[in-house]
Structure 1
Amino acid sequence: MATPRYYHHGGSPAAWTGSAVCALGFIIVTIGIFMGPNWVVIGVGGAVVLLGIIATVVMKAMGLGQP
């Protein structure tokens, strides 16, 4: 059986992917808030944040996160 790889200080691929996708989602939400608020854009940004959370959980389950 393979030894799990240890990442330090959140340096795992799952952490980087989740952080980047969630940051993009928060940027989209912020743009939507400044547009009036534009609820469609805010909803899209929220969906992107949710996608980042799901991607992080799936990648961690695949062994690409902190054990």
Structure 2
Amino acid sequence: MSAHHGNTPAGWTGAVLATLGFLVGGIGLMLTPVSMVLFWVGAALAVAALPVAAIMAKMGLNS
């Protein structure tokens, strides 16, 4: 087990992208039906957070 507890560039990037995705998606849901596109952009950001963080971790940005 590592001692950094997620305080890495990969961890922070994943968390920020997921939070931003949920924020954008939530705003899109409140503006329905005007902006379902905004909801789907937020959903895509939230889903993209995991592979982006995993790729960054494989690049060595997790230590």
TM-score (structure 1 length as normaliser): 0.77
- Residue 60 (structure 2) pairs with residue 63 (structure 1): yes
Larger Rg computed on CA atoms:
1
What RMSD in Å do the two structures reach over aligned CA positions?
1.7
Aligned length: 61
Deviation for aligned residue 1:51? 2.2
Report what 1:53 is aligned to. 50
What TM-score, normalized to structure 2? 0.81
Distance of 2:22 and 2:53 partners within structure 1: 16
Higher helix share: 2
Q: Distance in 1 between matches of 2:5 and 2:51?
A: 21
| Residue 21 (1) aligns with residue 12 (2) | no
Match of 1:31 among 27, 34, 40: 27
CA distances 1:24-56 after superposition (whole Å, capped 9, x unpaired): 111000101110253211110011112222210
Unaligned runs of 5+ in 1: 1-5
Q: Which runs of 5+ in 2 are unaligned?
A: none
Identity %: 36
